[in-house]
Amino acid sequence: MRKWISDLLYLPQDVTSGIPRIEMIGSHQVQVENYLGIEQFSSTEIKLKIKEGCMTIAGDDLKIKAIYPQFVAITGSIREVRYV
Amino acid sequence: MYSKGRVSLDGKDVRNIWSGKVHLECKGTQIPVLIDQVVKESIRIENVFWLDEHRINVVVYIRDFFRFIKWCRHHEIRAKIIKKQGVPFLWKEIKKRKMFGIGFVLFFILLLCMTSMIWRVEVEGTNARAIHDIRMQLQKQGVYFGQLKMRLPAPSLVQQELLAVFPELSWVGFRVEGTRIIVTVVEKKRAEIHKSEYPSYGPVHLISRKNALIIDVRAEKGNPLVDVNDMVKAGQILISGVYGDPTGESGPVVGARGAVLGEVWYESSVVVPMIQKRQVFTGARTSSRSIHIGNMIFHNPFRGSASFSHYKVFHRFHYLHVGNWKLPLGWVEEEYAESRYISRRLASSEATRLGTELCRKSVLQSISANGRIEEEKILQRIIKNDKVYLKVHFDAIENIAMPQPILRGEKPRGEND
């Protein structure tokens, strides 16, 4: 239904359907909007709860630069971004 | 949804420089749970990273600090403050060192006060005595050491009044340079000092200023050596200040006083062009407004240019004021007045009249104040190349006496003549 409306109105899907919008700047920063929570946090792996389940960000020296209810910015040398 | 624009690339919230942040070190086992929890409570945290297995670094805003600590206790996590950062903490620090803070503020206030005062008034361009007089006058007008810059009179007013009070000044410049006031005066240069106009008291002879024919001798004191209808040369003694011996070598010195009127010949020449060109206004004028900053005028590039071939521009500047401060910008009204040149051809008689008038004026300037012109005669008149060349002779009657100190033992100047 939501997808149908967003297609109809040419709206980007992240605006309407609450699925995460992930923005990666080089390999040193990832910004995730519309995440639901943090499951796990270590300097090598961060697991975020999202609508469709879980996503993992793996790398070294990971830091949460800023974290707000619907936005998280992660820096460090990022190796992978994976959906689980 | 969280708006993205509020967070810059490195996660720093630009708008929050005024709110303080606390750097915390948290130690415990349930840290990810804590983070998840506080974020759900909409506590903003930043810069989260692991220091080692159990310790984590977190930055919390002050307004969320106590809520954060509450959640730490709830999850049995110990939090330690490492660093305080931001304006509120700085303010607290300043409060703690009150005297320092007061001193700091006082310093700026003092600096402001000092720089808004006049520290020195300099008068240049004249001798020490005149400088003193000018200083006194300036003080009366409110220009003195310690005066606030704000309360200084307008430069044009100072100039006007100084010129009115001291007629011997021809120009007065008034400028403020920082805390210094520089008054530059230019004294009138007198073409010739008429010494005869000075009261001649004391041991003096009266000598002749010019070659002349004596008309009248009015000796009040002294021994007149010349008579009416005598021809005298410049420097010749007219009234001796020494009684008895006319050579001045012996006898009691009484000094001379009086006036000797003589007829002096002057010759003056002048060239008068017969075609006279001058600019006159036709009366047509347009005006426009522009903005100016400092001395720069910014014209509207779309305005039509003045359609006059010859014109003169009059500027009227208006400045913006903030309180007592005049800002160096404002608007300017420009008035374009159309002008044209008209040339007038003078008749030769007219040009001659004009020329003699000029000559008479110049002669009157060079004779002493109580002199007069007795007779004038045009010696030569040549009309060539649309110009009138004139040479005019004047007979003037004036006081030719000039005091000269009596020098005993050596010959005074002019004794030989």
Tell whether B67 is within 8 A of chain A (Cβ).
Answer: no
SS3 B121: strand
Cβ-based neighbour number of residue B380 at 10 Å: 11
d(CA B38, CA A10): 36
Dist. CA B35–CA B404, nearest whole Å: 109
Give the mean model confidence (pLDDT) for residues B209-226.
Answer: 86
Secondary structure of residue B147 in the 3-state scheme: coil
A58 has a pLDDT exceeding 90: yes
ipTM: 0.78
CB contact under 8 A, B44 and A67: yes
Question: Under a CB-based contact definition with an 8 Å cutoff, are residues B248 and B242 in contact?
Answer: yes
Does B108 score more than 90 pLDDT?
A: yes
Residue B7: which of A39, A63, A66 has the nearest Cβ? Answer: A66
Contact across the interface for B4 and A33, Cβ inside 8 Å = yes
A77 in contact with B at a CB cutoff of 8 Å? no
Q: Which residues of B touch A29 (CB under 8 A)?
A: 9
**pLDDT tops 70 at residue B4:** no
Element (H, E) at B194: none
Nearest neighbour of A40 by CB, restricted to B12, B32, B48: B32
Q: In this structure, is the dihedral angle defined by the CA atoms of residues B220, B373, B273 and B308, taken in order, positive or negative?
A: positive
With the CA atoms of B88, B93, B95 and B99 taken in that order, what torsion angle do they form, in degrees rounded to the nearest 10? -150
Please tell me what DSSP assigns to residue B176. E
- What burial class does residue A56 get, using C-beta atoms within 10 Å of its C-beta: 0-12 exposed, 13-18 middle, 19+ buried? middle
Of the candidates B286, B273, B276, the residue with the CA atom closest to the CA atom of residue B313: B286
Read out DSSP for B9-58? TTS--GGGGGS-EEEEEEESS-HHHHHHHHHHTT--EEEEEESSSSEEEE
How far apart CA B64 and CA B42 sit, in angstroms, is 9
Q: Is B262 exposed, middle or buried (0-12, 13-18, 19+ CB in 10 A)?
A: buried
pLDDT band at A66 (very low <50, low <70, confident <90, very high): confident
Find the closest chain A residue to B2 by CA distance: A70
Which of B7, B40, B49 shows the shortest C-beta gap to A71? B7
Q: Which residue of chain B comes nearest to A40, CA vs CA?
A: B32
pLDDT digits (tens, 9 = 90+) for B135-162: 888 888 888 888 888 888 888 888 888 8
Give B-chain residues touching A16 at CB under 8 angstroms: none
d(CA B400, CA B408): 24
Per the CB < 8 A criterion, the answer to whether B232 and B208 are in contact is yes
Q: Is the dihedral of CA B80, B86, B87, B93 positive or negative?
A: positive
Give B53's contacts in chain A (Cβ within 8 Å): none
Q: Which amino acid is it at A25?
A: I
| pLDDT digit string, tens, across residues B323-336 | 778 888 888 888 88
Tell me, yes or no, if A82 comes closer than 8 A to chain B by beta carbon.
Answer: no
Query: pLDDT value at position B11?
Result: 43
Q: Cβ contact (<8 Å) for A41 and B48? A: yes
The CA distance from A56 to the nearest CA of chain B, in Å, is 14
Provide the pLDDT for residue A31. 92
Q: Indicate the residue of B11, B35, B49 with minimum beta-carbon distance to A66.
A: B11
Confidence of residue B316 (pLDDT cuts 50, 70, 90): confident
The answer to whether B287 faces chain A, any CB pair under 8 Å, is no
Q: Which of B13-17, B26-30, B310-314, B392-396 has the lowest mean pLDDT?
A: B13-17
| Minimum distance, in Å, between the CA of residue B12 and any CA atom of chain A | 8
Instruction: Determine whether B415 is exposed, middle or buried from the number of CB atoms within 10 Å of its CB (0-12, 13-18, 19+).
Output: middle
B358-381 confidence digits (pLDDT tens): 998 888 888 877 788 888 898 988
Nearest to A25 among B1, B7, B9 (CB): B9
CA distances from B97 to A54, B18, B91, B93 (A): 52, 20, 10, 6
What token pair was written down for B204?
A: 């003096």
Centroid of chain to Cα B304: 36
